[in-house]
Amino acid sequence: MSNPLIAPRSPGWWRSAVIYQVYPRSFADSNGDGIGDLPGITARLDYIAGLGVDVLWISPFFTSPMKDFGYDVSDYCNVDPLFGTLADLDALIARAHQLGLRVMIDQVLSHSSDAHPWFAESRASRDNPKADWYVWADPQADGTPPNNWMAVFGGSSWQWDTQRRQYYLHNFLSSQPDLNFHCVAVQDAHLASLRFWLERGVDDFRLDACNFHFHDQQLRSNPPASKRDTSTVTDVNPYGMQAHVYDKTRPENLAFLVRLRALLDAFGAVAVGEVGADDSLAVMAQYTAGGDKLQLAYSFNLLTPECSAAHIREQITQFGERVADGWAAWPIGNHDSIRVMTRWGGTQPSPALAKVLLAMQLSLRGTPCLYQGDELALTEADVPFEQLQDPYGITFWPAFKGRDGCRTPMPWQADVAHAGFSTGQPWLPVAPEHARCAVDVQDADPASPLNFARHILAWRRTQPQLALGQIAFFDAPEPVLALRRALAGSPTIIAAFNLGDTPVTFDWPALHDSRVLDGHGLTGAVNGTTMTLPAFGGWFGTLDGEAG
């Protein structure tokens, strides 16, 4: 039952693929209402395909009150009118397939909107057919919540409901009640909605917060964290002060993922599971091991402020050691994180940083996930408080400004109103510095980050070692990341990336038997076994006579 509209791919194709994430509200607006939509994406599919990526991942476009901008779903089998219609999605899928792109859509299964009919029925009484479709609990004797669980977006994860006179669980906003996956009917309903999209032509899924599906049925309180979670803003958000052993990442989820994989296999589909956990590498290993659960696990480990070569090396090495037959999806930017150019490059980063980061990302063992605009070297936009949309940022302002700065509109044309994103007032402002980085400006500059991205993505396709080879790292001084990729039957590739803003020279014995690998667009200077890398420079070579 694989999709007949797109050419079949070899088993495991996703290991060498590149995924490109589109945040639909901010990609392209076709009707002038200031909000990006599905026809806007369709009109720009040639641009996406022209980058040289394989999979288009579209963040949620389902019917929603938009309190969390689509991650609060009120109808899992329809398109919100803001984004278009089911027919618009059909047209998008058909055009993407013509261009050789697979279409991956976000699925938010752990929670729904409180506007979903399922929740309206569940809260109506304690004995209706959907009474146990959500997580309900009685208060403690003093009226306080059942335990100490906290919401990612702040405060208790329990909300009192006056209709049922019980608390319901919400791991995110109070308007996002958690579904009860211990109820098999909930699992069945979600699998049915996944089937709906697969039968409509969707190829693959990205599973949001996929380790939040189950909770501890005894409702035991979480203990304090021995090591605070670095994926949340722990200095202003107490969520990271708990060890989240009972409110998420429960062992029952593995059986559900096996059920989900059976459905995926029937359609030749792939799922990427977002894993945010206290020990995310361990969970990624569980969720991708054995070939009967998820194909890929989406990691937050390179979405942190830490950008040292040692940190990157540690994450990749530990994943390889702990995951065995599993596979990772490695993003360095997404719709929830400060843009990588600012997060790793500071307030005025060099455009060269975007080039070396992409080259590095494409050289790691795992599937790269690129975020819209990073190919343009966009920095984090400074959105003033009065224009903030993100409830996360509004709650924790000013210590944490939320996620709006990485979600501002894509700049298409520098000299057009709103950088060509929309003819109307955009839902978030277009940063002036982004307009100067617009696609039309970079199209005309052979040395632009955009043209570099197109070039190196095409070059990577000719180097299977970078997609499938085993990885090992060399000792090198900070901030240099030096590695090798070895694949049977192909020359071993070695590479070095200077992640810093000053030149670095170091002795690299591996250069004794190497030669430069041309065609990638990065240059370093080699003198014997001495490597000199310019600021934000890189180098690729092969080891003479050595095949993986």
Question: Catalytic residue positions?
Answer: 208, 274
Q: Helices marked H in 3-111 — which ranges? A: 38-43, 45-51, 86-98
Tokens linked to 278: 């206290």
Q: Which helix (H) or strand (E) holds 542?
A: strand 538-547
Dump the DSSP string for 452-492.
HHHHHHHHHTT-HHHHHSEEEEE---TTEEEEEEE-TTSEE
Distance between CA atoms of 526 and 530, rounded to whole angstroms? 6
Tokens for 11, please give them: 């088993």
**β-pairing verdict for 328-331 and 296-299:** parallel
Length in residues, the chain: 548
Q: At 428, give phi and psi (nearest 5°).
A: -130, 150
**CB-count exposure of residue 408 (10 Å: 0-12, 13-18, 19+):** buried
Per residue, what are the HEC states of 258-273?
HHHHHHHHHHCCCEEE
Q: Which two tokens stand for residue 502?
A: 């000053």
Let me know the angle formed at the C-alpha of 186 by 279 and 110, rounded to the nearest 5 degrees.
Answer: 35
